[in-house]
Structure 1
């Protein structure tokens, strides 16, 4: 416990230093080195600026996680609720149409001696996976299968079911994609980083949960970490297994669940360095009779029996044929059923000679059928959807290392985003130059002018520090996630902000807006301006500020990855409202645009310091304007509803790695959609 308190103090040191520097700049700017705050208005301004610094420090403290140590069970309960909201298993991913694919598995014997004990009578089904896992000692499990066998679906189902039946003494299962694990990053720090980024936790609380053993990492995608041809001893996958072997909870091996492709794990196991103390299950291929049952029970097969009958007959007659082998995984079976649902003729697959030819024809129809199944009035044509997803797949391919996650704040830091970063630097530089150029000719002599220059330079440095991936952020990502504008989560946010653990922080954050209203509405003898016109103009800013504070108490994963751009937009509105008021007052007084320009540009520079990641993201969108939609988060949310994209925590992923790689190779569909086939036996005349 003492070590945790010392770590909290170390985390608090840079915030204290930054607060002192900002406070010194504020005092220099207001007091002017001896000139003093002579009037009541100057004294009120001094108090407001000091409170603004304190408010900023409170926000930073909440965002960086330098919080008091809380009860581990309470933290685990909150994390479990967040995971439950983030990892809802869509029926579209296991088949849809109320007909799921039956996923079965079997325990495999390990070639080494250090293996976990297995259940005496395993269930071997998707519904019984949690019961089988609880019978494993120690609780370390490796899920293997062929590409598309349903490893990710099994992992998601495990997270949902285990979290639903979890006791207080058991850890919280958290699904994590292994694609961004760095070679030099300790496993514990990597999990903590994902808990903060994907599930809205603070660094201190995430570290506390890891130290207490209350997090069960469910690691997906070990086979997607390395490029083909990488020597096994130098591979990132081997480093992951070595790290997991040493991952302990006290003196016992810590619980963990891992997914990997069968052939790769066989090689890793034969090398003598697999994950020790773990049991292994192998997902069974989908038999031809199960494929027939699944396809025959779907609604479209009932309505278009004549179109589907030859396909089903082929599967029955040749259970080891090309078509049966192509549909031997749940992913391919679901993709095929979706691609020919209500449109296109599935009989075209009977003429394919290779599995690759079946894959190309199936994926060419997949996007068009998914778009048609969701909403044809959303404004996204299948051709545009294919082109945009192709560009995103190329971005992931350029990152290398098996990248399969789309994190919106990190797009501008990808290897191919140099022009976006350059545009951001030019934007910050121009705002700084314009601010100083418009202020310096009329600046007062002495310390007051130098104080303002130092303030501008400090804001510029903070804005440029956003270029670093691990740089200091005044508003962290976890504090900027906001739900959709009409979402009922806003009522939950308001109630939590007023009655939850953060109510004292909300009280401190409300001091500054209260003083602003007092300064505007109070009579002159009490230090106010008694200006109702100004108060009505400031009120929208305060309402937006309250919405930003309320949204910070919600978990980022509950909101989803698209909540981060909305947070950046709300911060922009908070700064834009007073800037608009200032511009209107200047024009009404006949001062012209030249008088209002310096504060407006200063507000823009301040926004870059507060939300540098948002500005960099906008720069990336401008650079790639003709290749991806400008409202990218809205498009990706729509793709999630269409079953083309999945959401894991706070990141986007393609439906399957095979689909992502196919899109990267094909800028346009190979074939055009065909009209629905009519069944003469079931057709009716009007």
Structure 2
């Protein structure tokens, strides 16, 4: 806007002739600059708020995002009883333990309250229920917490880089996953009102990485120095048992922390859990041989294969209603049990949601395989699926090349229309400079951290028919939000007035144009209303809808101008460059969405085009879990199994490499 105004004033061609015109143009430029600075100050330099209000808002967002799914904890209202014991650390600086610990899932919050300092490490074997225990801890602590206590936030450790400070990393996740502003997130962290619950320390490094060079050791060093004043700051960490044992003996463990070890599920508990399922009651004859085997051989292959809550729940789901669990009686190895169980797991999960017509088990397996393979190709093997970052993954260079070609093509078409195929007046030069500037901003999105004119947390929108829209409308037009809506509504109202009002009142009286402008105003109101909601209440699938909404908000004026040009007698070839200009503008404003679209076009045969809708369906089916604003596979072992098997198994086969249970630090 400033470049166009200055170009018009200086007048490469006709320019502004009279002093009145020059003053008007300069005033308009200064007004736009003042409004931009005011909006920037309103979004970034946020004044400090009451701590209770900030923590309450964050606690509400966490409660919306970390709801425990019945399918994750076992379903059928019969959860697996998870127990744990406190372990003595091998070093002197360990936290004090409760005198009489509860040692159960329900009593973890009470046990944590007795730990001094409030630092806890949850360890267990792969699939022992560390993530479930962490989620249950977040939900229960958040329900019981007082205003003076910090808000627990579950954070996957997979994307913590070596050069990023721990505080900055937590602030980034609070902004991305829970939709709060960066200023408020920094205020909460600096006030010690955030309790980080860090999941997946054992998933940061590949086997064989030297301990001093590992990312896990870097995380522990950073957490040891993480303080609140002179005291160690509260933190909860989950890790695999064998890795943390090595870190305690040979490395540098997290000091001033207590440690709990999740107990294996005994055969007696497995029998109780399976016998209480509805399917075992309805099909007692099918399940009785399996239960008898567990009772008779509590240390047998089948009992060892079901010694973790994750495997026990997966087995119960895989043989629900249709499949015969008796096929597991003749197995000889735990890996054979895993292959048979996971081969049945996806079809059973698809059948459980009664939606086989939408997604067949074969398609679900194939699509999840490609997603798991993409995560495995990232450095160290990622475990979080962030939709805006898919095009920036190491193996997505084709998507980035398609994005560069698209931006370059739209830019060249625009420049050809305004410079090489017409007069070269001040307006043409001004628009050309603006197009080049937008193209540079669009290409900046290719950086590893991206570049955003609109913050990602401001683009999370609920489903179109969601009741959250009514909540958003009430929030947008009440309280302090209404003043921002009124100020920002000045420009759309002026456009509408210019279209409707008669010539005596400064308008043009064009009612068809007014009807064409009304949808743009509707998009404007919807965008403002959607931005008042927390991202955590919407979920990770709200980001693609925000990109579509931005495209509609930018595309509708282009359509209106195209219609006006055609009505004025211009040819279609004269109007198409206008669409190219708006395409460059969209890439500059919402480059993440454009890159994501390029990624979908490149992988359209490997994943569904409506990927977010599919992942939400997988979450309902129990195949995917949601942590804040990211997707994760139900379990790392399930993710690695899918990466090894490109197609559904008709019969068990040997794995291509060692399974997750045999991994060594």
Structure 2 CA distance for aligned equivalents of residues 37 and 473 of structure 1 = 38
Aligned to 1:457: 436
Going from structure 1 to structure 2, the CA distance change for 1:230 and 1:663 (only over 3 Å counts) comes to same
Deviation at 1:29, TM superposition (A): 4.4
Aligned to 2:610: 631
- 2:489 is equivalent to residue 510 of structure 1: yes
Deviation at 1:75, TM superposition (A): 1.2
Deviation at 1:376, TM superposition (A): 2.4
Cα displacement string for residues 238-265 of structure 1 (whole angstroms, at most 9, x for unaligned residues):
1111110110000000000000011111
Q: Residue 15 of structure 2 contacts residue 426 of structure 2 at CA under 8 Å; is this kept in 1?
A: no
Structure 2 CA distance for aligned equivalents of residues 496 and 162 of structure 1 = 28
Structure 2 CA distance for aligned equivalents of residues 601 and 39 of structure 1 = 34
Structure 1 CA distance for aligned equivalents of residues 470 and 6 of structure 2 = 39
Cα displacement string for residues 467-501 of structure 1 (whole angstroms, at most 9, x for unaligned residues):
11334311121010000001111111111112244
Cα displacement string for residues 505-535 of structure 1 (whole angstroms, at most 9, x for unaligned residues):
3232211111111111122133211111100
Structure 2 CA distance for aligned equivalents of residues 158 and 554 of structure 1 = 25
Aligned to 1:476: 455
Structure 1 CA distance for aligned equivalents of residues 507 and 27 of structure 2 = 14
Structure 1 CA distance for aligned equivalents of residues 21 and 320 of structure 2 = 70
Q: Residue 30 of structure 1 contacts residue 448 of structure 1 at CA under 8 Å; is this kept in 2?
A: no
Going from structure 1 to structure 2, the CA distance change for 1:30 and 1:299 (only over 3 Å counts) comes to farther
Structure 2 CA distance for aligned equivalents of residues 507 and 54 of structure 1 = 17
Aligned to 2:509: 530
Aligned to 1:233: 212
Going from structure 1 to structure 2, the CA distance change for 1:202 and 1:537 (only over 3 Å counts) comes to same
Going from structure 1 to structure 2, the CA distance change for 1:272 and 1:666 (only over 3 Å counts) comes to closer
Cα displacement string for residues 118-168 of structure 1 (whole angstroms, at most 9, x for unaligned residues):
111111111111111111111000001110000000000000111111111
Out of 574, 583, 599, the position equivalent to 2:553 is 574
Q: Residue 177 of structure 2 contacts residue 535 of structure 2 at CA under 8 Å; is this kept in 1?
A: yes
Out of 4, 13, 16, the position equivalent to 1:36 is 16
Cα displacement string for residues 532-553 of structure 1 (whole angstroms, at most 9, x for unaligned residues):
1100111001101111111111
Deviation at 1:177, TM superposition (A): 0.3
Deviates most, 66-75 or 320-329 = 66-75
- 2:60 is equivalent to residue 81 of structure 1: yes
Aligned to 1:343: 322
- 2:133 is equivalent to residue 154 of structure 1: yes
Cα displacement string for residues 105-124 of structure 1 (whole angstroms, at most 9, x for unaligned residues):
11111111111111111111
Aligned-pair Cα RMSD in Å: 2.1
Going from structure 1 to structure 2, the CA distance change for 1:48 and 1:451 (only over 3 Å counts) comes to same
Out of 283, 293, 297, the position equivalent to 1:304 is 283
Going from structure 1 to structure 2, the CA distance change for 1:29 and 1:194 (only over 3 Å counts) comes to farther
Structure 2 CA distance for aligned equivalents of residues 374 and 44 of structure 1 = 63
Out of 180, 183, 190, the position equivalent to 2:159 is 180
Out of 626, 644, 652, the position equivalent to 1:647 is 626
Q: Secondary structure at the match of 2:72?
A: helix
Q: Residue 459 of structure 1 contacts residue 606 of structure 1 at CA under 8 Å; is this kept in 2?
A: yes
Q: Secondary structure at the match of 1:226?
A: coil
With normalisation by structure 2, the TM-score equals 0.94
- 2:224 is equivalent to residue 245 of structure 1: yes
Deviates most, 562-571 or 492-501 = 492-501
Out of 262, 275, 278, the position equivalent to 2:241 is 262
Aligned to 1:332: 311
Going from structure 1 to structure 2, the CA distance change for 1:583 and 1:360 (only over 3 Å counts) comes to same
Structure 1 CA distance for aligned equivalents of residues 5 and 409 of structure 2 = 24
1:219-618 matched pairs, under 5 angstroms = 219-441=198-420, 444-618=423-597
Cα displacement string for residues 427-472 of structure 1 (whole angstroms, at most 9, x for unaligned residues):
0000000011011246554543322221111111111111113343
Equivalent pairs, count: 651
Cα displacement string for residues 628-675 of structure 1 (whole angstroms, at most 9, x for unaligned residues):
1100000000000000000000000000000000000001122279xx
Q: Residue 361 of structure 1 contacts residue 671 of structure 1 at CA under 8 Å; is this kept in 2?
A: no
5+ unaligned residues in a row in structure 2: which ranges? Answer: 653-665
Aligned to 1:117: 96
Deviation at 1:610, TM superposition (A): 0.9
- 2:103 is equivalent to residue 101 of structure 1: no
Deviation at 1:503, TM superposition (A): 3.2
Cα displacement string for residues 310-355 of structure 1 (whole angstroms, at most 9, x for unaligned residues):
0000000000100000000000000000000012110000111000
Q: Secondary structure at the match of 1:594?
A: helix
Aligned to 2:655: none
Structure 1 CA distance for aligned equivalents of residues 631 and 201 of structure 2 = 18
Deviation at 1:40, TM superposition (A): 11
Q: Secondary structure at the match of 1:341?
A: coil
Deviation at 1:76, TM superposition (A): 1.3
Cα displacement string for residues 72-102 of structure 1 (whole angstroms, at most 9, x for unaligned residues):
2211111111001000011111110111111
Q: Secondary structure at the match of 1:144?
A: strand
Cα displacement string for residues 268-307 of structure 1 (whole angstroms, at most 9, x for unaligned residues):
1112511100010111111101100100010100111111
